[in-house]
Chain A
């Protein structure tokens, strides 16, 4: 027993459990990516390597109209989501951080609630809102973007506030002492210092939008508003080709590349330890 949980040793069974867990969590996805390169129509039998499902003349990510449309729509929503949630979130974070007096706690709770609300509740609520309160807006691209912003906003606020806390108020106060008016303190001192947080939250909002499924599905209207996630849901159990794996792989590469790039930029601006905190906050 003593070997089992020795706080100073490195028990073998813990190494084994961790290694098995990591293999179990990554291998299935790695195999799904492998099958995106299958030279045949099967998603379960390996028939040799090929990139036909990415670039082939028929049924590939590059040439199939449905796949093309879903990828474009996914990226369009992601850009809309970043464009709206980052300015809204950064200003909300600034306002909340300096909020004096009543109401701050309530607004803070309101801001955090979307992070813990099950997505189906938000999906149903927004669906009924767009059907019954804003019938003129209706369902479709605008509704989908609004829905995604509603839950990505909180992530932007949390990341920005983390950075605001670590900057402190000294720079602003120094600018004020040197006679900078409030507007300049904000635009020429605080915002540049916030740049790493803005980049990080833009990347997170982008990735969250691409990976989102429930809210996007609830607020979709017709086939033209189908995203990659919705396509995966609709076709996973059917008998499609490895093109489905290929388009999932493309979306995955875009997501991970965006996050990786943002992480590198963030680390150039800020120390490694703080970057690690930011990664943890991305939860």
Chain B
């Protein structure tokens, strides 16, 4: 049976591996997206000449109506999106690939890196929901922001996994099993994302991502909040809760291959872990926070504790982040400066968050996760009317309402990060103080005995 499991997992792993070989062989980025340097602008004919990145080929492109004039800059590497609906070689959007790094941007990246790191170490995922939009607001094109975040996520998750594995919280086998299926989920997610971006452009992509965010976060976050509330009221002394009814039912399904997860203390059919892994991957590729599905999935469907699930998620995030980074790297979209600046503080944060879990009870992780998810849902939800209006699905909203919703969205994100940081560090500090007091009492007691 073990051999069968290994064979299934291996073949699942080979599938994406084969695609990387093909991709490296020259598939490159999408046809509607081009990287290169604008060498010439012809205002009379409304065209630009782009020297394409990989081949060096010169291509004359027509400036579309939607292009902002300030983005057309000579001798800067740009990302050009074509508008196939408007005709051949018509440019839809030009974004400067590498923003100029100012002190303000640098400090912003370091700050969000730190808080994102703490959150990651504590609940297994997080930060990306703030990191990606933050990088975009600093001036990185969407695809570069996602790619650079991905390339910062996997080293962070690797360090986090190592730490929490040392604390005995990571189920490596569960992580490997989930990650293998999640990688396939990522592939599907990337395909959907690229399809949407090509077909409906940035507005469509934004609408899709926001809608996904809101639906998933409200449903799952709401349930986690309800569960955490019950636990915090019912049994504060409990260190571990019992598995959910759903998980217990799932564990009774006896379709081979059955898998034993020792750290998670679960025996379950591989066919239960596959959909959870797929969903984690799809979400990770689309909204960069697969953990918001992966962790609750491991808790409520598979039956692991929040402690083990959040730690195991870090392992999954490492493998998936590495995989995703290779994908984005093949298209040449990673701005390594953004990745390493985030890492400067997030590698500290993730270790603080990881060691913090040793001082708190299981339900604190759930509370932190639920609070984060629900506030992020508000943030994304606030943007939905604007995106819907752009698509003509609802009536136009007034500029003042739009401005209000945008600031609500921004402040909700800040609140989400702040709240999560506050709950996790608060619980951690409280735990540390209690632990030190206990240690002191032990010393006094020992001295008395002597």
A binds B: no
Residues of A within 8 A of B (CB): none
Q: Which residue numbers of B lie inside 8 Å of A, CB to CB?
A: none
